[in-house]
Structure 1
Amino acid sequence: MSLYPVIMCGGSGVRLWPASRPERPKPFARLFGDGPTAFQDTAARAAPLGPLLVIGGADHGGLIREQLAEAGLDAEVILEPEPRDSAPAMAAAAIRLLRRDEEAIMVVLAADHHVPDAGAFRDAVVRAAPFARAGRIVTLGVKPTFASTAYGYIRPGRGESVRMVEAFIEKPDASRAAGLIAEGCLWNSGNFIVPATTLVYELGRMAPEVLEAAEAAVESATKSDTGLLLGEIFRTAPRISIDYAVMEKTARAMVAEVDFAWSDVGAWDVVHALSEQDETGSHIEGRVEVEGVSGAYIRASGGAEVVAVGVEGLAVVADGARILVAPLADSQAVKQAVERLRARGPAGYPGLETATADLGLWLRTAALPVWWSLGADRERGGFVEAIGQDGRPRPAPRRGRVQGRMIFSFAQAGRMGWDGPWREAVRHGLAGMTDAFLRPDGLVRSLVGLDGRPLDDSPFVYDQAFALLGLASMVQAGESADLALGLALRMREGLDNLRHPGGGFREAGDQPFQANAHMHLLEAALAWEEAGGDSGWTDLSDEIAGLALGAFIDHRGVLSEFFDADWRRAGGDAGRLVEPGHQFEWAWLLDRWGRARGRADGQLAARALHAAGLQGVDSRRACAVNALWEDLSIRDGWARLWPQTEFLKSALALGETEDALQAATGLARYLETPVRGLWRDRQGPTGGFAPGDAPATSLYHIVGAIRQLEELSPTLSA
């Protein structure tokens, strides 16, 4: 039988707020200076035992991969679509391992425990392994060093160092803890050595619903960039710990007594005790100045600065705008306070005036300067696809749509009064588009390599829409208007070759009949109308708006994304897709079109679209999720940045002030990054942000939303 360490990355570590947060929970936070995280330390301690398997939340797949790579380790990674506690997670890991090795012995470790003597830990596992091979579930029981009320206890039976378990005892009060230690009880470490077959057998007897959901989730799992994503049915597994599901019921439980140093690092008093301290018994870390401080833990990170005078026995932890102040002796009480804070949702703007001022300042003083200085490629022309969170541009093949969007963004910045080099940026984007992306027929190709050679010459309708939008914005801003108009008219003529005989346009690629390309073409046509274009733009706007009202949107205000050649909703899951971001984007456009034409049907459709889109807004996170099913149930609980901007624009256009405040609050969370002026793109279902670059395409969405804020919020705030 082979040993397979299984590292469990569940738990949120709320007591260690603000260092531990949904986007970076305790296992992945650096609690002890610049050393390894608890997850990295656990992985390094377990790796010599056998091939690693890591199971964690889908939110944190990127973090897991990044931290493994940083530690020079490799592992199979299983991702849960939703946390369901330890029993379902261990069940999924066991089922996955049995597909690899029918005799696999799992060594289950929590990712956030502190065990400084890695060798002693591995020796204990090896000592317990023969008992596991005999079909036992062996847990490691730590010999207590004080009467802790934060840990559960195990009463061992008679025998040598590996004994049968007589009882598991919940976390006791102080008096009871002292009595348990006197009786010879051990701390329950939550580490297990168990054959995968034994675990599956016991789960099947004692928690069959857990096992059934885990089996179905493994069977329906899909590969992602960061790991094996369990099927959605995993969400139906009962939320139950392995202790309640199996350990307190099984007759197979044994405990191996260990006396090495161990802690689950559950609160700031423990971090303080494990950290280096000065002569006053204090640990001071980061940009901190103290006077008359003793027995304290004071830490500043995320740009925060702390001055502490005359305090004793306090934890002061500042991470950016989040600050904890608590007596170290009351560290366990942090959880309740943080949970009450989270129940209130993200800190919101008090009014639209504040949101407008805050986001407008961020755009003008941070985002636009960053994207002109770092995002403009002076060597190859045009704009880069993305900038990393380290402030470095990411070299990658360029898409035509990015150039049109960046022209739009900087032209709009000029219209908004930005006193930066917006004209130079617009000209740079235009030169990049015409030099590398313009085809002989006047249309824009899809993809160009870093050497400037075409990689995909396809003229996507989507890409033409953004080229046209950028050109219209140039005319509106008064920059190279004649050149922009000439390019746009030739492009509009070229679009006739992409028309579909059944109406509308046929998109390139594997989804030729779609709403999305038409949506952005409508946006471009309306922009050209507002720029003083000819009647051809009006005709184009009316054609697309008519197609949307007649085919794309149903009687409930629900927008379908994909269709057949007769503009009937596509079959299968493609036809069942509903995107809240597009619900809001179409609402904003049809309201704009309806007002321009005096068409009540357009404005009514806009309100219905907005109302249906609200079904995809998670008020707890103040954000619109990626996707719904056609019955408006959640299909994809992740939330990219761009739907938040469209939620904001729609709410502003329709006069929904509370919705607009919620959308602005949700958007602002994406803009909290190490390099001011960048953004995070993907937020997980529990509120954490996935690691990743800031995509250039988002600037178009952000500029459009902030422009709408500045134009409409004075009216709504009056």
Structure 2
Amino acid sequence: MAIFPVILCGGVGTRLWPASRDRRPKQFLNLTGDLSLFQETLARVAPLAGEDGRIVVVAGRDHAASISEQLGDTAAVLLIEPAGRDSAPAMAAAAEWILRRRPDGIALFVASDHHIPDGEGFRASVVEGTKAAEAGRIVTFGVRPNTPSSAYGYIQPDGPGLAGVRRFVEKPDRQRAETYVADGYLWNSGNFMVRADVLMAELERFAPEVLTAARRALPDGGGATVILTDAFNAAPRISIDYAVMEKSDRVSVLPVDFDWSDLGAWDAVAETGGADRGLSISSEDGGANLVRAAEGMVVATIGVSDLAIIAEPDAVLVCRLDRSQEVKGLVERLRKISPVHVEGAPSGAEALAGLARAFDGWMRFNALPLWATIGVAGDGGFHEAIDRDGVPVGDFRRARVQARQAWVYSVAGQAGWAGPWRRLVKEGLDRFEETSRRPDGLYRTRVSTGGEVLDDTASLYDQAFVLLAFAAAAQAGVETGRMTARAQALRQALGGLVHPGGGWREDAAHPFQANAHMHLLEACLAWEALEPGGAWSVMADEIVGLARRAFIESDGGFLREFFDADWRPAAGEAGTLVEPGHQFEWAWLLTRWGRARADDWSAGAARRLYETGLRGISASRGVAVDELDDRLAVRSARARLWPQTEWLKAALILEADLPPGHAVRALKGLRAYLEPTGLWRDKLEGDGGFVDEPAPASSLYHIAAAWVQLRESRPRAADG
């Protein structure tokens, strides 16, 4: 037996306005606790999937970003509808997905916006209904009413216990609801379980158009995100109740006693007892109210009771709790007057455009000018860091920082930055050449600010950035011939680091590593753009070949960091290290390499790497952590700045293949590190606090690389 929990994320929750909006409906709100209703649902059904099942989430494009944000590290498959067609087509698509993977798989269909505080009781009911579902029954869960309610539909069972269904009835008036409760009717929870093949057979009997559209819309293969094709739009707009449940003779109802509510209006939310939010104060003679105050607000009441007071930053609702069902009509009137107050926050594209404009302004007017002045020494060399008081820090200069800063100002010049970028690049690289080039043509790791040698090691990692700096300078027109000659000489000098087993050795504690090769690939692609089809392309292809056979796990699709001389995973913890930031960075590079060569493998590999990187996103902080292990469990919850930039680059370059919102989430995560001064924080600890330390110059390369990719992906947004 394999259970596949299917979470349906349709619906808007209009009666819960103004908290619930079209673009951020109630299932993504924390109405009853610290978690959203969607997250509560995830936690409730996840144990049922076991090893053989898989959580499946069905949602529209507008909500895909919210789902990706709230999934965190929960493994799930997301089916994205091109347009909403009600519950029957959504369930059909999910059943077809399950059927292709496990013909006898049981689909457990649950709503994403229901409140069921007794998770154990819910799971026990599912287990109780499993045998009937295995035998081919459609088992729906009927909640024993604790009071007559006109807010729910009802089911009339054909007998006690698990029994057939005599009839389904729509939401009744109060008087009829009292009769139904007295006669033993059950609330229709809308949750049910059925073998995928049984549901498809019933759809073929009663709603063949739904079945056909769902099958045609589901593409072959697919990873964690599956975008249904436009064939889905041919499905009739119909609920599963009308399409199947009210017609099928296979339906059974299981009476359940766990607390359940669909939280359809504010009175139902108030009944949970845990829905108040924010700061509020009332007079001593005031009664009970539901008060939700937005951050920065205070709600004060005197002598009133039984009210819902919902204060959002742009809208406030005050109504009697016993009239909260009427909010829907009010919202429909408001939609004609001011639709923006009903729709809510802007879409992913609009949000990204606004964030991109702000980021571009921060780069041009804050970061680049600061590091072009305080960050540069009198001899043209670049400082290692700037502290919070604006004072340069560091009595040494590393090759990687000098090369990176020269690269930053080369690309800034190409982006139209009006500062003295050309002088900064030329003087910086000239001083670096003078102090750091070794007699063998490689570049040493570290010198003092006066030019004395502190570490004569030639790191492969550093050579990669030197090549990248030369390429950017040449592309920007800074002594192009001279930069080309320097790069060719350095490429020849790298012959001394070639490893007989393929690739290059790194002069470090771990001589065989993916990271240095990653940046060498980046440099080769930069030079390939200037000199296509030559030695740089050969190097790039060699690195990708090594990544394919050694760095990237053929089964898991994730990338390791350290290896032995035979390019097998290194012994001990080093061999199990998986860095989310590097999954994103390799995804970005492989996409660029593969598109230049029309290579199919690279596209699939990049998607798998990206999905691995997402396993490292902290749901609570919205950022990529530093380290996972090879089981893809968090090994270090610290989150440095640079993985956020790599997440953004990968999300942007893969944007067409991802649900909306990934780039917005990544840019929001990066923005949390940036300060108005043009400085930044580098290390965010697991407790949510930043380490108090100077801003490292080395991070500007990562920030600028994300800026460049954003300009390429969204030029109008970046330029304002």
Paired position in structure 2 for 1:68? 71
Q: Does the residue aligned with 2:270 lie in a helix, a strand or coil?
A: helix
**CA deviation after TM superposition for structure 1 residue 186, in Å:** 0.8
| 1:236 has 2:234 as partner | yes
Rounded to whole Å, the distance in 1 between the matches of 2:672 and 2:279 is 16
Paired position in structure 2 for 1:10? 10
Paired position in structure 1 for 2:567? none
Deviations 1:130-171 (A, max 9, x none): 2222211110001111221111111111x3311111111111
Given that residues 221 and 231 in structure 1 are in contact (C-alpha distance below 8 angstroms), is that contact kept between their aligned partners in structure 2?
no
Q: 1:53 aligns with which of 48, 52, 55?
A: 55
Q: How does 1:134-283 map to 2 (within 5 A)?
A: 134-157=135-158, 159-219=159-219, 222-223=222-223, 227-276=225-274
Deviations 1:637-676 (A, max 9, x none): 969999xxxxxxxxxxxxxxxxxxxxxxxxxxx9xx9999
**CA deviation after TM superposition for structure 1 residue 366, in Å:** 12
Rounded to whole Å, the distance in 2 between the matches of 1:41 and 1:164 is 30
**CA deviation after TM superposition for structure 1 residue 264, in Å:** 0.9
Given that residues 106 and 193 in structure 1 are in contact (C-alpha distance below 8 angstroms), is that contact kept between their aligned partners in structure 2?
yes
| 1:44 has 2:43 as partner | yes
Rounded to whole Å, the distance in 1 between the matches of 2:228 and 2:405 is 32
Rounded to whole Å, the distance in 2 between the matches of 1:129 and 1:314 is 43
Q: How does 1:448-527 map to 2 (within 5 A)?
A: 453-454=464-465
Paired position in structure 2 for 1:290? 282
Paired position in structure 1 for 2:681? none
Gaps of 5+ in 1: 277-282, 349-358, 384-395, 413-425, 441-448, 469-485, 494-506, 513-625, 627-633, 643-669, 679-692, 709-718
- Counterpart of 1:166, as a letter, is R
- Counterpart of 2:270, as a letter, is H
Rounded to whole Å, the distance in 1 between the matches of 2:56 and 2:255 is 25
Structure 1 residues 52 and 435: CA distance shift in structure 2, 3 A: farther
Given that residues 6 and 54 in structure 1 are in contact (C-alpha distance below 8 angstroms), is that contact kept between their aligned partners in structure 2?
yes
**CA deviation after TM superposition for structure 1 residue 222, in Å:** 4.8
Given that residues 46 and 55 in structure 2 are in contact (C-alpha distance below 8 angstroms), is that contact kept between their aligned partners in structure 1?
no
Rounded to whole Å, the distance in 2 between the matches of 1:284 and 1:235 is 40
Structure 1 residues 437 and 141: CA distance shift in structure 2, 3 A: farther
Given that residues 148 and 177 in structure 1 are in contact (C-alpha distance below 8 angstroms), is that contact kept between their aligned partners in structure 2?
yes
Q: Does the residue aligned with 1:189 lie in a helix, a strand or coil?
A: strand
- Counterpart of 2:47, as a letter, is P
Given that residues 406 and 425 in structure 2 are in contact (C-alpha distance below 8 angstroms), is that contact kept between their aligned partners in structure 1?
no
Rounded to whole Å, the distance in 2 between the matches of 1:458 and 1:370 is 20
Rounded to whole Å, the distance in 1 between the matches of 2:463 and 2:323 is 61
What TM-score does the superposition give when structure 1 sets the normalisation length?
0.53
Paired position in structure 2 for 1:335? 328
Q: Does the residue aligned with 1:121 lie in a helix, a strand or coil?
A: helix
Paired position in structure 2 for 1:558? none
**CA deviation after TM superposition for structure 1 residue 191, in Å:** 0.7
Paired position in structure 1 for 2:32? 32
Given that residues 203 and 211 in structure 2 are in contact (C-alpha distance below 8 angstroms), is that contact kept between their aligned partners in structure 1?
yes
Deviations 1:293-324 (A, max 9, x none): 42211112244443334432221112322322
What TM-score does the superposition give when structure 2 sets the normalisation length?
0.53
Paired position in structure 1 for 2:313? 320
Rounded to whole Å, the distance in 2 between the matches of 1:366 and 1:154 is 58
- Counterpart of 2:320, as a letter, is P
- Counterpart of 2:217, as a letter, is A
Q: Does the residue aligned with 2:140 lie in a helix, a strand or coil?
A: strand
Rounded to whole Å, the distance in 1 between the matches of 2:290 and 2:368 is 39
Structure 1 residues 363 and 153: CA distance shift in structure 2, 3 A: same
**CA deviation after TM superposition for structure 1 residue 411, in Å:** 5.9
Rounded to whole Å, the distance in 2 between the matches of 1:32 and 1:219 is 37
How much identity, in percent, do the aligned residues show?
Answer: 38
Structure 1 residues 454 and 94: CA distance shift in structure 2, 3 A: same
Greater CA drift, 15-24 or 698-707: 698-707
Rounded to whole Å, the distance in 1 between the matches of 2:359 and 2:104 is 60
Paired position in structure 2 for 1:122? 123
Rounded to whole Å, the distance in 2 between the matches of 1:317 and 1:164 is 43
**CA deviation after TM superposition for structure 1 residue 7, in Å:** 1.7
**CA deviation after TM superposition for structure 1 residue 65, in Å:** 3.8
Deviations 1:57-89 (A, max 9, x none): 23434433443336xx32233222322221111
Structure 1 residues 436 and 641: CA distance shift in structure 2, 3 A: farther
Given that residues 288 and 305 in structure 1 are in contact (C-alpha distance below 8 angstroms), is that contact kept between their aligned partners in structure 2?
yes
Given that residues 77 and 227 in structure 1 are in contact (C-alpha distance below 8 angstroms), is that contact kept between their aligned partners in structure 2?
yes
Deviations 1:171-211 (A, max 9, x none): 11112211221221111001111111110001111111111
How many corresponding residue pairs?
Answer: 469
Rounded to whole Å, the distance in 2 between the matches of 1:22 and 1:451 is 50
Rounded to whole Å, the distance in 2 between the matches of 1:45 and 1:437 is 62
**CA deviation after TM superposition for structure 1 residue 406, in Å:** 5.9
Rounded to whole Å, the distance in 1 between the matches of 2:674 and 2:329 is 32
Rounded to whole Å, the distance in 1 between the matches of 2:131 and 2:104 is 13
Structure 1 residues 181 and 62: CA distance shift in structure 2, 3 A: same
**CA deviation after TM superposition for structure 1 residue 372, in Å:** 2.9
Rounded to whole Å, the distance in 2 between the matches of 1:266 and 1:272 is 11
- Counterpart of 2:325, as a letter, is Q
Structure 1 residues 700 and 136: CA distance shift in structure 2, 3 A: closer
Q: Does the residue aligned with 2:340 lie in a helix, a strand or coil?
A: coil
RMSD: 5.5
- Counterpart of 1:60, as a letter, is H
Paired position in structure 2 for 1:571? none
**CA deviation after TM superposition for structure 1 residue 340, in Å:** 3.8
Q: Does the residue aligned with 2:164 lie in a helix, a strand or coil?
A: strand
Given that residues 64 and 659 in structure 2 are in contact (C-alpha distance below 8 angstroms), is that contact kept between their aligned partners in structure 1?
no
Gaps of 5+ in 2: 343-352, 385-400, 434-459, 485-526, 533-651, 677-702
